[in-house]
Structure 1
Amino acid sequence: GGGGGAAEAAPPLLAVNGETAGTLESTVTKKTFSAFLAERLEQAERTVLISCPPNINENKFYKYLSHYGTINNYFFYETFGAYAVVEFSGTEDIAALKESTCIPRLQHECAVPFKSRLFNLRKNNVGELSTAQSSVQCLKLSAIPHSELLRKISGAETIDQQLHTVCEEYQLTEENTRLRFLVCSLVKDIAAAYFPECSIKPFGSSVNNFGKMGCDLDMFLDLDGISGRNNVKPTGAFSVEYHTKRVASERVATQSILSVIGECIDQFAPGCVGIQKILNARCPLVRFSHQPSGFQCDLTANNRIAMRSTELLYIYADIDPRVR
């Protein structure tokens, strides 16, 4: 368990005394790339991100959220304050949580009523403070300092062990990977307002088994899964098509879609700042910072070659971990 011991029925914390128990061998999976993505994306759909008050009591935190459904896993980390990543057993549990969540009333500002899966947990009894023993332990999302890495490397007996140490210390942790997929899922909630069947998938260093702590989060807006594109030739007297906008090329369509979604992220998505629409680049993209996670994000669309390259590196690392 993490710091403070969870309630009796609590699932195991992913964090173990502020560290992860993963090893090089356990990190590299034996799943196909598509199966790995599908499993992680589905997991992210059942997950929420919660901004926590200082000195929160872990037992009470778990007990309160358990009212809304079964919690599979959770962990705490720190960026701009303390956050909790909580995975429920089903999306209906998140719907129940949303049902009882209120939109904040502000005195001199107006809250944009976009109901995301990023929540603020407030203490109703301000005078109730937790003891140090029951407060949570937060993970660090950054890599260890160079001085500490050098100390660990110098203790290794062979170059092989040194390389293994560097890889273990710098590779993405289980928690960091979960958070990356969650951020993709949160951005998908924005895009799904226009394209309900779309998906947003991470690519590049976040998922190719070569990523290191602190690397950017590259995201790909995938519209290929939208139904109705490859229907069989109609046999009846009539067929029905959607009446759609028509543009000169796929590139123009990509630019238009990213421009609108980038604007929505800027105006509606909590925690997303510094939005830049770089639409005339060879590969049009929207760049922004996701403050709650601390990730620098690049969102592209129709970037199929990058997804294939990611899968190729994933396969290389799966065949032989030494290539990492």
Structure 2
Amino acid sequence: MEAHTDIQTTQKGFRCTLCDVNLPNEPTVDAHVKGRKHQNLFRLRETRKRQVQNSVFVSGIKPNTLSTQLIEYFEQFGPVQDVIMDKEKGSYAIVEFEEQASTAAALHRTEHVMNGLKLRIKPRESKEFKVVLKKKQDGKNSQVNLDALSQELCRAASVNEQMLRVVESFQLNENERNGRELLVKLLQEVFMEFLPDCEIVPFGSTVNTFGVHSCDMDLFLDLEKTRTFQARSKTASEPTGEGQSEDGRSEDSILSDIDLTTATPAEVLELVAAVLRKCVPGVHKVQALPTARLPVVKFSHRNLNLHGDISIKNRLALRNTRFLQLCSELDSRLRPLVFTVRFWAKQKQLAGNPFGGGPLLNNYALTLMVMFFLQNRDPPVLPSVDQLKNMACEEEECVIEGWDCTFPSQPIAVPPSKNTEDLCTLLAAFFSFYATFDFSASVLRDKSFQRECADAEKYCRSLQYQRKSSKGKSWGLVRLFAPSCPTGAGAGGRQGQGEGKERHLELSLPFRLAALPDAVQRRLGTAGERFREQWFAMVRLAVETVFQEVLGCSPAQEEEFEGQMDTSTSSDAVAMDTAKEPEEVGGHDQTEGVAAPSGSSGGVVSPQAGQKRPFASAETSPVSPQEKRQKLCAAEDEEEDEGAEPAPSASWCWLQRHPVWAGRRKVRRDLLKARGVTGGGSAEASQPDGGGVEMELQVTRHITAKEPDPHDLVAFKVGAQVVGGSENTRAVLRFTPLCDQKGHFQDFFHFLEIFLPKTTEAFLGK
């Protein structure tokens, strides 16, 4: 182990003072020091150190002193890199030079006079470099909040009142709304100085009536009128004065430095970021993200303790915000239902990604699910989108980026709902609606949501939900909000039957006849009851190809990793082939198959004599080393009812040595740019993860090429089986981690939830 100044020896091993982490042994120290986090912080510290050495602290300036004046004065000592002004009082500035020699020259002079101001300069103070890590959610604080909410809800007289109190507990209060309104006005005034006629428009949760405490603040910077103002200033035939427009307003220097008509979004965002950094009091942590899916400038506000985004191309989101506002105005039952379902989903670990994007549902998705449910009640609580479109007048027609966004501007134009159900009834109906909803053709494929809905629907039929307890016990929403525990607690805090950990490690591949080639459709159409076997043989081959060819997984033997998963301490280590309740297959109860002997062939084996072999044989399987050829499952000979048919099944063991799930979208975007393809220039550019097979192959090769010395990241077992009857045939894939020393398997599985079904279907469609 090399000596590192940031590594200290402790009684239990080592500690990195730079990253504030404990390390158990020398190999982990070497790996940590070479890792991305340590290297990034090391470079950041060196950059900060260099900035301090190249900077001077300047006082004696006036609040109206401009940074350009300071640059002009201090350039006599050398090139100036940057000037940081005091945004609060304007009493000081920090001037950073490009070279340390310039700093020494400025400090060597004993007297500085700029435009009659006597400046005082001194070396910039060097502060200890400290890393402020993102705070994780405090389980104790959230529990205290839940306890306080539970006491408040128990005092309510009915479930209806409980739901109203949930809204009161989580919605933005008056002080928060006023603070955000003042910030919008401040930003409007500041940006108007530099971008005449621009407009700051809030959208999203801050104003759509569904905002909660500390929610992000989304802002749209409308520059349409500013572009007109700039064009008019340039083409005015009779200018009233140099640099002045016909209406008497001068075009500011910042606006004169950029042509909004030809400027790229990245250039405009950098301008917005510069204004935020230098001119808006209380704003810090400003970061322009021009290459994000939605280019924005992110910022934080100290006094209001909130995070915000400013975008310049998001008119569709503005219209969507107005649509949510209209729906809230149409029926007062919408907001209580949304707030209640959101908190329920968060407690059940179905929603709420605390650090941004993630595998769980977000609040917007849950809001749309509640609205969709209300549109499908009989009679409906909310009108459908098409109905709202027909209710709008001609002046209210609106098309944005090709999307018809027409709906009435005022709720008075929409007839009131004839549905008279109360909140208590609607909440129970919501769970019943989605407990039986067919998600096979939708993005949401996680069975855990439907399981929790089924549990909640069952609880909502009990007296504990409908009636207040006379003995002071938990009732109504309190029991419904009981958090799910790892062992599978359902609604009301009861324990599940072994579903808790397992439910998140299962994927479903539905049978879609229309997605298959015409020749395959005809062949399956004449196969009768045996179409399921033939289709599963194709699925097995496609899944094998995706893992081995597209994702670069290596075949493995389960025995190689025996004992490497500590199932007693890892919540993700779940034996997927343990006993489960049998699923009904083809009209008969059928348990899972067991692994065939290692010497068996690669086809789908049937244990009953005289059965016809499926058309996909071992010869069509991908070539792999004989000693690691994949084992297929076959149901053992068991006593069954006459005519019962064992379900085709298969199992594999895979080893993944590269983080092929990380950064695929960016790599795909870079490859398309290198090819000269823009965002909307081709079908591949618009494909989500797991769309174009050839592109995904290139993405994987690009990722693996970056690591010439790969190491075992995750090893896992996949068991596949056909379930369902003729009308809901699907292949269920169950995953078991075998080796996951660094905790990557959960991220890998979340990636597979979207990628594997889409890519498998793409192979089947060939």
Q: Structure 2 length normalisation: TM-score?
A: 0.22
Q: Structure 1 length normalisation: TM-score?
A: 0.49
Structure having the higher helix fraction is 2
Whichever of the two has the greater Rg, that structure is: 2
The structure whose RCO (Cα within 8 Å, separation 6+) is larger is 1
